A and B are shown apart, each in its own frame.
Chain A
């Protein structure tokens, strides 16, 4: 018996009602997705596997689809550049004139800053590695401002990495796959960026609202912002490094402060991703957790022959030791917490000297060991301090010139100068 011949022969479902039921079902599913979506969390978990899979598929497709559009865009750029060449040349000449003065001042300030850092023993942040990428898709609507870039975890990019172009900060990475990442722009409605006003050092939060110029909210202090003030990242919270250029302050239509983004001065097509994750990546946690005198534990005990030679030499050395010379006090730089080693360690029996050395001398860094020179050498180094001597003593004790922490040198009474 066919279906139409049965009891449902005259049963007709109104198409409009079934369509309405389908709409309700689909809308319910969409509402559930919307409620459960946690895109604003800006975490890799919040991004989700569906988005990652979609991005990795659409990025190459988008790149192919976009090729003709990109060629057209390059053509239009060429035409615009051709007709604006004279004006641009004039503008660039004026800019170059201004920049030369800025460059001279920059060199002087850099030099001065380096000296201050050395004096204050500031632990400067090391250079941040970068990964270059090209934007393959973008969204510019009122609800989303994001870019898809063709670099991912394969290049070391992680969620939270800041993204810049040649003009300034663009945004930060909110999702990554192996070859594709999504960048949330500063103008996105979910973007919040801690910034500072360069002139007054006042802190504020840059709040995106989907428009081209994000809002400047929670400005600390009164009259701390003026039109044209430069806005930089403050580094608060550890998401962005301090000092990335963001834009210029300007009055909005409603009277509030807004920021004209530097990144919008040119195309956001090629970008650089700063592989900056957080402050905790700047130091080696193992070095922080290591015992302070770990290096001393590695020193092997003296062999019997060496101990015998030490015992034989010790009386002669003790007899030739001059009286302790008072050490000229050196004012430690602010923040210096390194304990001063015993500049004039008390004489000990030769038999116990080797064993006692690790316990008596605890210089944590290389610089203080210079002060712990043997009494014979002390007068030449400390009594007649040459001009660069104070600079040497005030230099960061726990850092090499390349910024890597130097290993603590154990004090050896038999070889206090560290001469090999």
Chain B
């Protein structure tokens, strides 16, 4: 008897909604005002991982909209200017979308450079925007800590790419 194929369908809930919800939940947890061994919790921009990986997994109309919502959530949770992180995340998404053909299929180390460059670029633009708004340049040391902990999330981005990149044969 011939047995049928079991087709694995990777829908948006798998690679968009669940990772987005997990990223927001982790952000809320890391916003707890507590010190572990006299050190505050890190505050990475976790949705930056999604902004980098989603256009590489596959182009989508839904992903940028969810990314914009994630950015607005960050702004509201942290109390920053409304739209700042939404704009930065969409900027990263847009750049990766444009450069998709250059990045897809590269070695992980090359991707990590792209990730680092885009993260630092987004942070620099955010600094300039805040300088324009408030007239005060944000502290480089405080920003560097946030950039470093965000860069440390690259293994999650690599795992997401490996997990979903070949999930749908139409986008290989």
Contact = CB atoms under 8 A, between A and B. Distances in A.
A92 interface: no
B127 A142 contact: yes
Nearest to B98: A20
A51 to B, nearest CB: 6
B32 interface: yes
Interface stretch (A102-110, A116-124, A207-215, A345-353): A207-215
Contacts of A143: 78, 80-81, 84, 126-127, 130, 138, 143
Contacts of B143: 141-143, 210
A30 to B, nearest CB: 4
Nearest to A51: B76
A62 B28 contact: yes
A22 interface: yes
A86 interface: no
Given A138-B31, A207-B136, A209-B137, A23 B97 contact: yes
A398 interface: no
A214 B79 CA distance: 19
A231 interface: no
Given A29-B68, A207-B136, A211-B141, A144 B87 contact: no
A361 interface: no
Contacts of B35: 73, 76-77, 267
Interface residues of A, number: 67
B4 interface: no
A22 B16 CA distance: 15
Interface string A41-82: 000000010110011001001100110011011001101100
B77 interface: yes
B143 to A, nearest CB: 4
A146 interface: yes
A26 B91 contact: no
Nearest to B129: A34
Interface string A140-156: 11111011100000000
A31 interface: yes
A138 B32 CA distance: 6
A23 B67 CA distance: 9
A16 B59 contact: yes
A142 B146 contact: yes
Interface of B: 25, 28-29, 31-38, 40-41, 43, 55, 58-65, 67-68, 71-72, 76-84, 86-87, 90-91, 93-94, 97-98, 100, 123, 126-127, 129-130, 133-134, 136-143, 146
Interface of A: 15-16, 18-24, 26-27, 29-35, 37, 39-40, 48, 50-51, 54-55, 58, 61-62, 65-66, 69-70, 72-73, 76-77, 79-80, 135-144, 146-148, 174-175, 182, 184, 189-190, 207-212, 267-269
18 contacts: A16-B97, A19-B97, A27-B86, A27-B94, A29-B83, A31-B87, A34-B87, A37-B82, A58-B28, A58-B77, A69-B34, A72-B36, A139-B31, A140-B43, A189-B138, A190-B133, A210-B138, A269-B34
Given A138-B33, A143-B130, 12 more contacts: A16-B59, A16-B97, A21-B61, A37-B81, A37-B82, A69-B32, A69-B34, A69-B41, A72-B34, A141-B146, A142-B142, A143-B84
